[in-house]
Structure 1
Amino acid sequence: MELLFLGTGAGVPAKLRNVSAVALKLLQERGAVWLFDCGEATQHQILHTRLKPRRIEKIFITHLHGDHIYGLPGLLGSRSFQGGKEGVTVYGPKGLKEFITVTLSVSKTHLQYPLNIMEIEEGILFEDKDFIVEAKKLDHGIDSYGYRIQEKERPGPLLVEKLKEQGMMPGPYYRELKEGKKVVLENGSVINGVDYLGDSQKGRVVTILGDTRPCTAALQLAEDADVLVHEATFADGNEEMAWEYYHSTISQAVDIAKKSNAKLLLLTHISSRYTEEDGRQLEAEAKQLFDNCVIASDFLEVKVPLQTE
């Protein structure tokens, strides 16, 4: 599980930062990528990475401001032209379906894969045997959502040494035992994988918030998160401007991280007024408030480790 930032700027594209998009790479977990927001030129940013658009199976849009959605029609169309056949589900606020369908219709873009558009409300959006995705409405000028991606509890490690003590050396049975299944050996004896697994591993939590002022929903979504992605459009000292434009300052984002007990804070949606040198200074100031904090830059990749690592 890794996060790949494709755009970390706010409002308009800039030389230093493109507009909002972040990919959650779940290649080992499900062979797929989930994309959160898709600002203008997101597909251009993808060209500079190893990410394959055909791997994108879900797209979560936080809100319908242009710097978060203007790249979506192009990406959907290019994915089809590049041979993507597997279906895609796009989640987002009311109005998203009209935006996508009208744009594709007017441009005569015909997708070669099924597209499912789900206009959301607060609650559980998706759940399978491995993950739960929950959304809550944040405090912004238009409907803006935050997403909590929670991995379910993972089976414990296979106790290889214990198996070897029983005379069972590594082989094809190990995979089934790792899954907690029973296997029948050639001599007829039965081994239950459950008896050879260590303690289960707590699943990871990644919280990705859309544009927002500090609010209760942000705290709830970020509770005990392994990684919190929070906007920090303005530097400290600009609280009034942040409030007026429904955004957050760095220290306000840090406050959410501390109160929610998040382990790592990744700050994004940085105003284009800040230079690269400004960014280094802002990160230094942020670290004084919360040591495990990084101001994300375009193409930053962050691994979300298992809690045992």
Structure 2
Amino acid sequence: MKIRFRHAARGALIGGLASVTVAAFGYVGGWLAPRRLTPQRLVDTLQDNAGLHPGYRRNHAKGVCVAGWFEGNGEASAYSTAAVFGRSRTPVVGRFAIPGGNPYAPDGSVPIRSMALRFNLPDGEQWRTGMNAMPVFPVSTPQAFYEQMMAGRPDPATGKPDPAKLAAFFAAHPETAAFRAWARQAKPSASYVTERYDSINAFYLVDAQEQRRAVRWAMVPQATDGGPGPAGDADYLARDLEQRLGRAPQRWTLRITFAVPGDPVDDAARIWPAGRRTVDAGTLVIDRMQPQDSGSCRDVNYDPTVLPTGIAPSADPLLAARSAAYADSYLRRTAEEAHLPGTARATEATR
């Protein structure tokens, strides 16, 4: 679909959102010509677009640590040998955040919220997952991601992306249509607690007979009092979470959706059709929050390829690339912390 320049204002809005959304993942390929796109080069681009804030994440810089547990109900244990799906309780360390590398960004600046979790399984294995409150990713490949980051780079004169460059990018990448349709109607919510968080990338559940089933998952909120964020308040999300946790633990249902033959397993820019079989695997319970500079999530790299036996990555090229970029960002953050004054420390650089 051609994007006409008279729609540039709308395109710039969506493009800016898309650029932040792409940064919400941060991935890299090792085969982009003519210059090889390395993890370092990708993180440099994230840093150049958002500005350098030493000691903070290069993306998801503004957030809060949380902790709790996952109560498995056994319903998914027929499809995966992972202990987390049994009838047991698994400790969880997590983080809520908004996309972007500015730790002082207003909470209402983007309509996307993220949830990152580390499940500490009883056998010493871990399951780490990074999810976002959106149904689909803008692009399919590392090359397209890099092109979008460059198209969405802020113009020094305006501080905003160039609408013409974004229009050209979208015209060259029709796979962004599903995300752009969602972005047109998305609005910043008033709470982390009322959001649904999707894996977006696909994975495989592996059972005791080593049969692999392609899935995506989501944390579906049990809180139903969602609404738009308050106008004129830049920092309402952490305060809302603190108030809710002061009243009661907050809960989400882990919903696993199974692909059918022909569903795009390795393409995060394509939505699976409605009506696919689902299984509710248990309940995530968050009962406490902590500051991001001293909480238990501070030194966790939420690499989505850290998986227990019974869960395997798909061949989606974004997964391995996310892992590489997260590692590079983490190393930058820890190196910077060593030179920060006093004992101040911040959370890891990307996820």
TM range (shorter): under 0.3
Higher relative contact order (CA 8 A, sep 6+): 2
TM-score normalised over the length of structure 2: 0.23
TM-score normalised over the length of structure 1: 0.25
